[in-house]
Structure formats: C-alpha cells, structure tokens
Amino acid sequence: MSPSDRSPTPGEQWPHEEARKLADRVASYEPDRPAIIESGFGPSGLPHLGTMGEVLRPSYVRHAFALINPSRPSRLIVFIDDMDGLRKVPESVPHREATAAYLGRPVSRIPDPFGCCQSFSEHMIGMLIDFLKPVAVSYELMRSSQTYATGVFDPTLRLILEKHREIIDIITPTLRKENRGQWSPFMPICPSCGQVNSTLVTAYHPERGTVEFSCQRSFGGAHGCGFRGEQSVLGGKAKVQWKVDWALRWFALKVDYELYGKDLIDSANLSGRIVRLLGGNPPLGFAYEMFLDEEGHKVSKSIGRGVTVDQWLRYAPIEVLKYFLVLNPRRARKLFIEAIPQYVDDYLGELRAWAASDEQQRRASNLEFVLQPDSIRSFKSDLTYGLIMNLVSALGTSNPELIWNYLTHYDPAITEDQDTRTLADRLVQCALNFYHDFIEPTKQRYQPTREEQAQIAELVSFLTHNPEAPAEQIEKEIYEIGRRHYDKPGKIFPLLYKVLLGQKQGPRLGVFIKLATPQRIVMLLEQSGRVFGA
C-alpha cells in the first residue's frame, strides 16, 4: 500500500496534497533513497520575500511529506545558478557603472559591488542565508559553479553533447526565427574575456567532449572579444542554456519535486521533454502565481522591487510572514508594505481559530507549517492590528505605555494571558513603527466645513451624554446622523475618518471609539474645529 493511501484529513492544505503525490512517486525507490525536492535562486539580484517563498513553500511540502512517510528521508536542495551570466546590473546595487564592465560574465566571477565578499554571487548568497535565518528552515545550498567544476554534471553533459541535435530540435521551434539558426545547448566560457553570454557554438565533437566556438555575440552593453577555438564542455568550462540547465539538474540530481512560477510552465514542459530524452523522469511540478507589488507588477530582484525581511519584521511578527507564504500559491498575492496590516489581522483570525480547534483540525491548518517551537500559540482578545494602528494614529503618540492604557481599558483580559500579552506588546511596537515610518510623515489635519462641523457637533453631543454607550449603539447613532445629512448615511464615515485619523478609510467606528474612549474622541473632534452647538 502506498504511504499516501491514508484518508485525507478534511480541509487539508495544499502541502499535504502535494506530499501525497510525492509519496506515491517515491514509493518504489530503495528504502534509503531520499526524496529530492529542489528550489532555485538566481544570485543576479537581491533576494526579496518572493525568494523566501521559493524556499519556504517546498519546505512546507517536505514537512508534510515527513508526516505522511516518516521512514523515507528527504532533501531540500536550494540550487544557486551562479554560472549564469549577468544580463543587467540591478538598480539596487552600488557602483553600477563599475559592475556593468562585467556584463556577460558568470556572476560567480564578478567582483562584489558591495566590497565585502569574494564575488557578486557570494554577496547575494550571503544575503539569502541571512534572509532565511528568521524562518528556521532546513535546506542544502548547492552552487552551480561548484557542481559544474567538480564534475558532478560531467556524465550528463556528455549525454547532452551526444544528443545535442535532438535537444536543438526540441527547443528551436519555440524561439524567434532569427534566433533558431545559432542556438546551441552549450554556452562555453570564453578563456580570453571570461564571458559566457557572448559565445557562439559552431561545431560539436561528442567523441572528445568538446565544442568549437567563437566569442562574437553582443549582449546588452557587452560585446564578444573575437576569440575562436575548441574547448571542453566538462569541468566547469561551459554551462548549458537555461531550459537545458534545468533538465540537467533534474536528471543529474534525481529531483522528484519542484515548485516554480506560472511564467515557467512552458520552460518546465520543455525541460521535462529533455529529461525524457536523456532517459530520466521529470519531477512533479507545481506552478504558482506571482507575487505582485502595489502597482500589480511582478516582484523583481533585478529592478529592486519587493519587501525585505528586516522591513517585514519592523511591521509584523515573523509568523505572519510564514502564514502569508503558506497561503494557496495558485492565487496571486500583492506583497508590499502597506498590505502587511491586513495579513496580520488574517493571521490573528487564523490563530484564534487554531487555538479553539481540536487536534485533527489543527493538523489541517496552515499554522501547522508556521508555528515554531517558540511561537506564541494563542491570542485571547478580539483586538485587531488595524484597531491598534488606528489607535496609535488617533493618539498621535510614540509612547507604548499610553497605548497600553487604552488597550487594557478596552479589554482588561489582555494582560491575563501571557501569550496574548506578549503578542499584543509586539503588535503595539510594530504599529508604532508603521505609524512613525508611513503615517506620521504624510498625516494632514483635516479642517471640516461649517456644515460638516454641525454633523460632528451632533456626534460630540451624543458621546458626551452617553459615555458608556456600547459600540453597537455608537455605530447606530453615527448612521442616524448620516441619514439626517446625506442621501446615503454611509457618506458620513469618510468625514469622521479624515477628522480622526487623517485618512479616507478606517475601522468600524463604534468599536474604535470604545477602544480610544469617547472622551478622547470628543477631544479630537473638538480640535478639528471650534464651531459647535450652533
């Protein structure tokens, strides 16, 4: 019986589903042969949170696989393509003009523009390692430059050389007509100028393990040096083109599973065909949607888009990031700083539900993959991050003790549970950071018109005479005021948000007024204009 034949748990998350497929694939392997899961990182630019997702997501599948098949070992290989030639200098690196002189060379052979590591790629790899430390994931780094140079790929490279004509027939129909005639699976590294993107293969010699080539291509701002010669494709003296390189890894490393962006579906299909040509079995694949920035563009390391881990940790706990990255990968998600508060509140809702559920439901929850041994496992309060942030904005303070006075007045039980107190304390500090960095610099005091002041005066009067009114009654009174002054009562809310928070949108005002206290809200409303009670 296959290890995956156990009945699925109702509501199981996608990592469990993928792990079952992986368990079926490896069921016939020798008992000590590990399941190989691969991810990749191109060190031609700074890592971002999308990069983290490319490592965390397969680690979630690996974790689920271990639960399904604990006797089968597994490996997560993060393959670093540091043999790739630098195509353009990322906007986010210093000394761009100096680095541009090395365009076309493998990034492992380009000096570090930051001046602290052995090469451009080593700097990016170091950043990736630091990037992944907070999420406590286990993986193996494998560098392309070392794997080529030490001969690990040599047997497969010989096979590719023998079958170069069939591989060309697979790839060239997918290329533009003007690029088909000169395409080759191999990219020799020019011994004269060190470029890899500028070389053009002119003849193949499988019996000698060599190709003839000329260094004559122009690529971006880089130009070939004109060298001509014959050179081995083994021992790191050449690499293969991207789609062939992917097939090379899959075949040589016996990869069983890999996730990749949906923009690589066609590439994965072509690489799979090459693996079959070589006599192998392509890995199981999972195509995920892209991470998008606030403008809907794909997050990119080459042009510096994205959010860093340090930025995330300044505005939200690390568990929220892990929760965000475990959500359904087949749904595109926006990944920018201003979206973080909503993800925090989504996480708090999941944490509350998880804490209240039974063991079976907990195993099926996304939090199975998120919570670390030292993670907080309960939040016994209905407070939201959005409410805390709006309280900070309304009070206009950087004093956490003042914030806590309001929080404990709203929910005295917040201090009774240590986990709740600890997490709330972290959220208060994150909210203060967010306010200081984004809200305070752009906050503008809104001056209501005389007509709007009359509406505000009605709310002030209600709150003054009903200081103990519950949130629902306050919300109802605001609607009544809006009904008396607008064709649609909801139109009063943007006015109050602008007066109280300096923004057009905000939380449910009844709850927020109770949190900030009616007395404080009356003071803020009165500060917006001194014409009341007319």
Quick one: pLDDT at residue 51? 85
DSSP track, 84-114: SBP-S--TTSS-HHHHHTTTTSBGGGS--TT
pLDDT band at 423 (very low <50, low <70, confident <90, very high): very high
pLDDT in tens, 353-403: 999 999 888 888 899 899 988 899 999 999 999 999 999 988 888 899 999
Question: In Å, how far from its chain's centre is CA 25?
Answer: 28
Contacts of residue 435, Cβ cutoff 8 Å, sequence gap at least 6: 389, 392, 393, 398
Q: Using the predicted structure, report yes or no on whether residue 445 has a pLDDT greater than 90.
A: no
Q: Name the residue among 293, 315, 288 with its Cα closest to residue 304.
A: 293
pLDDT in tens, 169-220: 999 999 999 889 999 999 999 999 999 999 999 999 999 999 999 999 987 7
Quick one: pLDDT at residue 333? 83
Quick one: pLDDT at residue 529? 64
pLDDT band at 297 (very low <50, low <70, confident <90, very high): low
Quick one: pLDDT at residue 398? 86
Whole-angstrom distance between the N-terminal and C-terminal Cα of the chain? 82
Q: Select the more confidently predicted residue: 438 or 201.
A: 201
Quick one: pLDDT at residue 36? 98
Lowest mean pLDDT across 119-128, 284-293, 484-493: 284-293
pTM of the model: 0.86
